Amino acid sequence: MELRAKLQAATKEAMKSKDSARLSTLRLISAAMKDREIAARAGDGDGTLTEADLVLILSRMVKQRQESARAYEEGGRLELAGKEEDEIRIIQEFLPRQMDADETEAAIAQAITDLEATGLRDMGRVMGALKDRHAGQMDFGAVGPLVKARLMG
């Protein structure tokens, strides 16, 4: 099922079950997608977002909430950190399954082989290929150092 359809179905279900916390998060996701569509229309595009665009929006939302939760924990605001963690879990339901360490290593090796990358100057191309192929499936902040180590060694 398409991501948008899943989101709409989940929103209807949350309304029926009167799950206000879930409904609030689902509405935040919808609002973020609508904002992105409006921004895309403001440019030269038609405002249509691909599944990859939607996954990128969701990934950014998760990252923002992880940073907020960390800040709340450091500030001793555990109830707010817990709310952020709950939102992360809901958003992640709509993201593709995250790759484990072995799958990530295999994807990096495949990208390096496919691009015939030989050194650090190829890192941008390798990272771009990984983002195209595996958007939302891996943490690119953690993948960057792995790619760099592979290309250096």
Q: Does residue 141 or residue 43 have the better pLDDT?
A: 141
| Average pLDDT of the residues in 139-152 | 87
Query: Position of tokens 């499936």?
Result: 137
- Third-level CATH fold of 101-152: Arc Repressor Mutant, subunit A (1.10.10)
* Per-residue confidence (pLDDT) for residue 26, from 0 to 100: 96
Q: How many whole angstroms separate alpha carbon 104 and alpha carbon 98? A: 9
Tens digits of per-residue pLDDT, 108-117? 999 999 988 8
Global pTM reads: 0.72
**Cβ-Cβ contacts under 8 Å for 71 (sequence gap 6 or more):** none
Residue 1: pLDDT band with limits 50, 70, 90: low
Residue 118: pLDDT band with limits 50, 70, 90: confident
Q: Cβ(6)–Cβ(90) under 8 Å? A: no
Q: Cβ(107)–Cβ(96) under 8 Å? A: no
Q: Which long-range contacts (CB under 8 A, 24 or more apart) does 143-149 make?
A: 143/104, 143/108, 146/104, 146/105, 146/108, 147/108, 147/112, 147/123, 148/120, 148/123
Tens digits of per-residue pLDDT, 83-112? 999 999 999 999 888 888 899 999 999 999
Give the H/E segment covering residue 127: helix 123-134
The CA-based dihedral angle spanning residues 6, 12, 15, 17, taken in that order and rounded to the nearest 10 degrees = -80
Tens digits of per-residue pLDDT, 40-85? 888 666 778 888 788 889 988 998 999 999 999 999 999 999 999 9
Structural domain spans, the chain:
3-92, 101-152
- Third-level CATH fold of 3-92: Hypothetical Protein Yqey; Chain: A; domain1 (1.10.1510)
Q: How many whole angstroms separate alpha carbon 81 and alpha carbon 69? A: 4
Q: Cβ(135)–Cβ(59) under 8 Å? A: yes
